[in-house]
Amino acid sequence: DTEVTQTPKHLVMGMTNKKSLKCEQHMGHRAMYWYKQKAKKPPELMFVYSYEKLSINESVPSRFSPECPNSSLLNLHLHALQPEDSALYLCASSQVRQGAPLYFGPGTRLTVT
């Protein structure tokens, strides 16, 4: 099973709302990732968790707050977002070894109004 699931598929939120994106994998992977993808662009890395610890934060604004409750789950908490944060948010997972591919979820399409 190489499936990464993400919920919700679509999310519309106002600039004062608080919402969360969820990601789950059952492949036993110990690295999990959040990416942001704008239209017609490649994905941009936001965060990396390795063994449930935040290991990389690519200078992401604090209105995005990641959380890794256990080795299978990854959340992204959203608060006070801006319209320019509208994008496809992709979760991925991989083994923690050189050359291991990332497996991506289907993404959450976020619109900030």
Residues contributing to the site for other proteins (CB under 8 A): 4, 6, 31, 33, 40-43, 45, 48, 50, 55-56, 88, 90, 92, 94, 96, 98-107, 109
Residue 39 CB, nearest approach to other proteins (Å): 10
User: In 3-state terms, the chain is what percent helix, strand and coil (to 5)?
Assistant: 5, 55, 40
- Residue whose token pair is 């109004």: 113
Nearer of residues 30 and 63 to other proteins, judged by Cβ: 30
Query: Which of 43, 40, 10, 5 lies closest to 24, judged by CA?
Result: 5
Residue 96 CB, nearest approach to other proteins (Å): 6
